[in-house]
Amino acid sequence: MTNTQGSAMWSTRPVAPLVMAAALLMASNTAMAEKTQNLDELVNSTITPLMKQQDIPGMAVAVIVDGKTHIYHYGLADVKNQRPVTDDTLFELGSVSKTFTGIAGGYAVQSGILRLNDPVARYAPQLTSPQWRKITMLQLATYTAGGLPLQVPDDVDNTDALWLYYQHWRPQWTPGTQRQYSNASIGLFGALAVKNSGLSFDAFMKQHVFTPLQLNHTWINVPAEAEKDYAWGYRNGQPVRVSPGMLDAEAYGVKTTVKDMAAFMQANIDPEALAAKEAGLAKAIAIAQTGYYKIGDMYQGLGWEMYPWPADAEKVITASGNDLALKARPAKRLSPSRPVTAATWLHKTGSTNGFGAYIVFIPEKKVGIVMLANKNYPNPARVSAAWQILQKLP
């Protein structure tokens, strides 16, 4: 009898801890399920009316919270063939591509083939005329070269014509004093930043940014095998895609998926996690996230536009509108530059004729959102929707 009781005693002693562990696990899973359900409801209740209001055929959204990525798909990548948006759908990023260009420039800096404060003429012997002697590579990257236009003119359609255009251009303002958003400015920066590598811009980006970040479905030139995943953009109800142009790769040329953009965002939220295996890329990301000029409340990095966190929602949303974002504004060079700061709202909008993209994250909170749409719709609507979601995350 004693032995039996002893046996029973040994068999029952572990039960209480096991039951407790199981209960805790169940409670944890329940809490996690509830949190996910709440997030799903938050994202759906924000994105669905946005798409209806803006008449957007399809969207893909990635939200990072608690270190985890949540992916959402809506609508159609191809209206005519009723092809739905999926994880593999390729969207045009438009000017969100500039954040990739900024990191490529940062990689060139940390590898020693570029110095941001060098004059442009050091990298472009074609540009030795007086107006170029005081313009730096940093000023090209931050749209402060003196008033380069938003686009390279349409009739500039080859390399010789491009150099001739820049040779005849004249600054409106003293370099470094005004910021005027410009594809012609950061596009030239991107092309010259990688020049001493001996690689094309496409090859440099693939080798030093896309591949190390394992962005296996991110392209500047979409290969034939990926064409089936390439969404159609829509303008006035008609399918469109971006047209080729000079410096398009450097300024607005990236096409990618929502999953790759989530991985890109995660690397930017926590670049230190890359340091062990990709130290050069981690440094490049930090260089791109540095604030070099201050324009009102905004800090201009390499591609990234940044606001101290907590930020003023109304100011950030208003500043994203083209009436202000494309306007020339006074710029103040920061000395020293503002280093990478976790308490920062980092974001970038991007558009082509048929696509609208947005990325924003707050490193301190380890949260962020990517919104990819196959229609170009107003930037303030994008920022407002993202703000609505992010402000309700833990």
The whole-angstrom separation of Cα 81 and Cα 140 is: 42
Structure tokens at 358: 């947005």
Contacts of residue 35, Cβ cutoff 8 Å, sequence gap at least 6: 66
Contacts of residue 183, Cβ cutoff 8 Å, sequence gap at least 6: 95, 150, 151, 152, 247, 251, 252
Phi/psi at 46 (5° precision)? -95, -45
Active site residues: 95, 181
Nearest in space to 72 (alpha carbons), one of 371, 387, 380? 371
Structure tokens at 316: 């950030």
Q: Provide the strand spans (E) within 174-326.
A: 178-179, 233-235, 238-240, 255-256, 291-295, 298-300, 305-308
- What sign does the CA torsion over 277, 364, 28, 369 have? negative
Question: Cα 123 to chain center, whole Å?
Answer: 26
Cβ distance 319 to 327 under 8 Å?
no
The whole-angstrom separation of Cα 267 and Cα 280 is: 13
Contacts of residue 207, Cβ cutoff 8 Å, sequence gap at least 6: 199
DSSP letters, 272-313, are GGGTTT-HHHHHHHHHHTSEEEEETTEEE-SS-EEEESS--H
The whole-angstrom separation of Cα 358 and Cα 133 is: 35
Q: What is each CA distance from 82 to 34, 202, 387, in whole angstroms?
A: 33, 32, 31
Sequence letter at residue 317: I
Nearest in space to 110 (alpha carbons), one of 253, 304, 254, 271? 271
